[in-house]
Structure 1
């Protein structure tokens, strides 16, 4: 740190300058009362997460206004192989009086559509405004539109209730079917986070499994997962999962790279460079991680990442559990309502659900 230069001015001049600064502050147009009343850092603090900055991430908290002491935001402009990147991570310390994770609760059952979803979508900024200005917002799970209704393809749990399960079938011709287990990231009643694979079975129970079911696409299936297949299932929709979001490709499970997109079947262009959104958890340090990366040359030469590259980056910063969420034009992260990456649609895409850190 450079030493401060000695000030060569007379005391009356100093007093005049101090008075002017007070008047300027009182007349500021920066209305801080519009920002939530978080517990702020007091003054400059040393970098807490040196394990992350050593990997090439730069703390960019100052770019996003006042942040709670338990949230830090980092940016990377290169991948580990030195290819250009624009990636952000928001890291939240968990615990009493610290970060809170939640998921939007707009998805519902439609009798008319015969499915879970919503009649309308919301941009991340609309979610930010509708949910009392969370510090961090990212887009959530997959969805599609048909007949004016938006169908949820991914699990969504809020306040202990299952609003939608993961899609529980896959077919290309509506003659041959497969029944995959699909990625799910959730917080349990004890406050721990898990990346797992789920299947909504015919008995009305949403089962979680310790491993992804293997799929052979040359052999159509006639039976679906249940309480004991492909392994013993744990029921999620009995209050076990408090908040949760589905996606495609569990990236990390119990510290190991999984990247099970091929067996989860829903297409997320896993092997091509794309904008990505992901969510992760560092079990050792009790840190929740939201990840987003830009792509499709919104910044020159920045193509995006494969799901394998995202998995490697999250593992490098300490994540033990992680899930890839909806990506491409849906990828977006807001910090205090401000965009991080440039969305590939050149504007925020409206999506079916979102995840928050408060």
Structure 2
């Protein structure tokens, strides 16, 4: 048995090395980029399935970069249209979930310190709980005025600019009350809520990582609950590292060359890239990232960009 131990250890180490994703720099494809900004690609197969994924990484300490958002106010624009509208930002990526019927964002958006879109606040319960309301607390990515990134579970106070956040996962509230009272908010799941004062924010859901560990809160947020966590789709995600670098991740899917990823896949990749917190954003046909106005990934809708009502951006100052 002792003679086999070195061989077993060698196999374990080899397996760990093989599990490391192979990323290739593709900076040269996107023209002039700041020294603190890079783009990478991987085509490593996942569980034997074809896969195409990318990430951009940017140093939030670079004073020449600005991290912000934009919305289209009751209509939707393609990423190409946002690129022209916003004077050619360095990076654009789709952000919030939205309603096809009304073109409204279904997540919180904060721009220049002001709430420009709110999360729905409540959902109508179904089945045995019909007649009641579900109040989920949705994962949201934010940046404070001082430039500190954060991912929290949030609730937007109806009709106000106040945003409340918990730094720990919160189970949704099921109640017959048609509005969420402050007492509910303060006691929700025994978690502590506080005012979330951010300069920039985009919501999505679910949260994928917390404190550097995979912690997918799809059931608490009512986002891809149950078995939907294992569905493969094109994905968009955002996260940040301990040294304040933002990572924007996209993968292709629903094609012969890319099967798409599960939420667990994305969480594991974001952890591997060094994120301490990460958030899933709207994906599927919406997933599109531009760098210097050039498409990074191929959109799943026959290569056509889907119009969306919100984007996250990195600008040159």
Q: Given the two structures, how large is their TM-score scaled by the length of structure 2?
A: 0.83
Q: Is the 8 A contact 1:165 1:206 kept in 2?
A: no
Structure 2 counterpart SS, 1:88: strand
Superposition map of 1:10-21 within 5 A: none
Of 189, 195, 198, the match for 1:235: 195
Aligned length: 283
Q: Which is helix-richer, 1 or 2?
A: 2
CA distance in 2, matches of 1:72, 1:140: 20
Indicate the residue corresponding to 1:336 in structure 2.
292
Residue in structure 2 matching 1:209, options 166, 181, 184: 166
Which is higher, the Rg of structure 1 or of structure 2? 1
Q: How does 1:82-231 map to 2 (within 5 A)?
A: 83-107=49-73, 118=74, 120-146=75-101, 149-173=102-126, 175-201=131-157, 204=160, 205-215=162-172, 220-222=174-176, 224=180, 225-230=184-189, 231=191
2:246 partner SS: strand
Match of 1:258 in 2: 215
Could you tell me whether the CA contact under 8 Å between 2:240 and 2:275 is conserved in 1?
Answer: yes
Q: Which whole-Å deviations, capped at 9, do the CAs of 1:152-211 have from their partners, x for residues lacking one?
A: 211101000011122211225462321111110000122111111001245843210122
Look up the match of 2:44: 78
Task: Tell me how far apart the structure 2 counterparts of residues 76 and 100 of structure 1 sit (CA, whole Å).
Answer: 27
Distance 2:65 2:49 in 1: 33
Q: For 1:9-32, what per-residue CA distance to the aligned partner results, in whole angstroms no more than 9, with x for missing partners? A: xxxxxxxxxxxxxxxxxxxxxxxx
Q: Check the 8 A contact 1:170/1:266 in 2, yes or no.
A: no
**Deviations, residues 49-88 of structure 1 (Å, cap 9, x unaligned):** xxxxx73110001111121111100001015656421101
Match of 2:3 in 1: none
Aligned position for 1:317: 273
Q: Once the 2 structures are TM-superposed, how far is the Cα of residue 97 of structure 1 from its aligned partner? A: 2.3
